Structures are given as structure tokens and as C-alpha cells.
Amino acid sequence: MLTEQMILRIPGPTPVPPRVQLAMQQPMIGHRDPETSDLLKQVGPGLQQLFGTTQQVSIVAGSGTSGLEAAVINTVAPGEKVIVCVTGAFGERFVSICKSYEIDVVVLEEQWGEAVNADRLKKSLLEHSDVTAVFLTYCETSTGVLNPIEKLSSVVHKYSDALVIVDAVSCLGGVETKLDDWGLDIVVTGSQKALMLPGGLMFVAFSERARAKMEANPRPRFYLDLLKYDKASKEFSTPFTPATSLLFGLQEVVQLLAEETIEGVYDRHRLMREMTRRGLEAMNLNLLATDAVASPTVTAFTVPTVEAKQVRKALKEQFGIRIAAGQGHQKDTVLRIGHMGYCTATDVLTVLTALEIVLMDLGHTFSPGAGTVAAQQVFLKKGTGVHV
């Protein structure tokens, strides 16, 4: 094996397209120069399409977690009550952020591998009529669950006046998102997942309801004051120093997505999800999420006969392929394959074939070639041959 070759199939960071890498190598420009304003002006419409909004999308130099924290501190005052829906490790992160800011948190937790139950959310809203916000994780990266955000948002608005705040870090750009039509109040994402960039950018858009709550919120904030970013974005600027090289990369990402079309992007992600899931099932592996709630961007599974760390180690050493471990209490039992962003059916077939070899070598029992054949059958029925 070529020791410098690395095939990254984790749920973030994800591979960066060569065109994007090349774009980021452009000479540095002044972040207050007209060239930077032009960059921000050019990427704006593409970001609005991804968020499904006519509102401005602000760009922040920071991680996805900075976006989660910003969503909390801009909208919730000390002592106010919120509901945090937890379906995995990143729902728990929202809980931790809220508690660190002296917020009264009602935790609505589901078993890891399951989606938020709309009836349980309704019950919680009726029991806690004073909640000011509901925090949801669109794709729970730790379990591969895609929560039904449109349905859950409808429940929140029907039974409360709470804001709907969504972590879309590990799926926006790979699944349909409609901030305006679904009544979402804040949506946050990061650059290093389906948006095919290195880590370092956070993107956020919010509704007029959220704006009013932010303006009335007495909580102090400075760097993560979203009203500052919103005001600056309307002038095609940023309140603080942007990550200029990443903006060059973002310009190329927006162009790549436009060339494929957003519908084509979503179709490709759904195809990769089905190929991955059917392939893993054919290898007698256990999927963590059901088909009904499975994310198009990441798949979590367990191997009933082999330690998860052995599988990861063998894939890395024999093939240079990196897949991810589970998180929290599942870190030693769950494996996760990322299939988002700069990823195609070819990549899925590569990982499944290598996984078959590793599992056979480790003594796991299944019909050799079954996983690859199952994935091929999905492609033959649904595939379009799109190669990004």
C-alpha cells in the first residue's frame, strides 16, 4: 500500500475536491478590499438555495460548534426554559451548551438510533408551556439518524410559540433544507461536511421571529453576536476577519453544486445511502437506524462477531481507508461510514469491497461478494452514473 494514500470515509472532515483545493491556493487579498465583497456577493445566492431561504446567510470564521453556541446565546436569556431533543452525541452537545449558560433545560431523549418522536415532543410542549426554544439535530452524526425536521417544526409551532433551532452541520448540502417553508428559526451548518471544504467556516441563517428574539435578548455577546454578522452580510462584508482562503474555496463549491444541480446532489446522496445500507445488510451487519430515518450523509452499524476497533485498524492498515468509531457509550461498538460531499457511488463500492475483505479475514461469516453485489444492484436500479 502507498503509505501516503488516505481514503477518508468518515462523517467529517470530508475530502476536498481538487478544484476547491486549487481555488484556495490563490494569493491572499485584503479582507476589506472590494475583491472580498465580490466573493461574498457571489456565494450568497447559492447558500440561500441550500438553506431554503430568502434571508441572508451569514458566514462566520469558526467551527460548527461555534454555530450551536451562537444559536443558544443569541436567542435564550439566562433562566429561560428550552427543550433539547437528544438522539445522540450532538443533541447532548446542545444540552451541555445550554446548561453552561444557566438555561433551564428540558431534555427529550430518544434511544440512540431512533428519531425524535413527534408525539413525545407534543407532550413535552404541553407540559412546559413556557419554553422559548426547541433545539433539534437534523442529522445526528453519531447514529446516522435523520430527524424529521419539517414535521417536528410543525408540531412546535402548533403547540407553542417557541423558536425552532436546528443543527444541520452534518447534512446541509446533502439533504433538502427549507428554512422558510418549514418554519425554522435558526439553521446552522459547518464547512467540513457536505460542503466539501476544510473546517473553519460556520454558516447560519435565521427568521424574522429569531431576529426579534435576539434584539430583545439582554444576554451579552461579542464575537458570536449574530446580529452583527447579519448586518455585515447585507453589506457583503463580515464584522471580523474572515477566513479568506476558505471563501475562495466556497466560491468553487457553489459552482460545483450549481453544475450538478441541487436536485442532482440530493439524488446522489440518497443513492449512496441505499448502496451503503444494502451492502452492509448483505454482509450480515447490523444497521443502527431504520430505513425510515436513515441519513443520506452517514451510516452507523455494528459488527456482531468482531470488535469494531479491529475493523477500523485493518481498513486503515491494509487499504488506507478511514471510517469512524461510534461516540459516547457507543464508541467501542459502533462504526460509521461517511458518504457526503465529494463522494460518489465509486467511493461506496471501494469501501464496501475493502470491508468485505477485512471482515472475511477477521472471521465474520457472510457470503463473499454479497455486499458489493447488493450495492451494485442498487446502482443498476437507481444509479445515474454521476461523478462529481
- Cα–Cα distances (Å) from 218 to 69, 75, 240, 370, 371, in that order, read 16, 9, 22, 59, 55
C-alpha cell at 181: 417553508
Return the DSSP state at 8: E
List alpha helices for the chain, DSSP H: 18-23, 34-51, 64-75, 89-100, 118-127, 149-159, 208-216, 226-233, 244-260, 262-282, 308-319, 345-361, 370-382
The three-state secondary structure class of 205 is strand
Is 219 annotated in a binding site? The answer is no
Q: In what order do the strands lie in the sheet with 334-338?
A: 286-287, 298-302, 334-338, 324-325
The alpha carbon of 297 is separated from its chain's Cα centroid by a whole number of angstroms, namely 8
Q: Could you tell me which residues are beta bridge partners of residue 105?
A: 82
- Count the Cβ atoms, other than its own, within 10 Å of residue 32: 12
Buried b (16+ CB within 10 A) or exposed e, 114-123: bbbbeeebbe
Cβ–Cβ < 8 Å for 379, 275: yes
The alpha carbon of 169 is separated from its chain's Cα centroid by a whole number of angstroms, namely 3
- Cα–Cα distances (Å) from 260 to 252, 263, 267, 339, 355, in that order, read 13, 8, 10, 17, 29
Phi, psi (degrees; rounded to nearest 5) at 278: -65, -35
Q: Could you tell me which residues are beta bridge partners of residue 82?
A: 105, 133
Write out the binding residues.
Answer: 336
Write out the binding residues for substrate.
Answer: 336
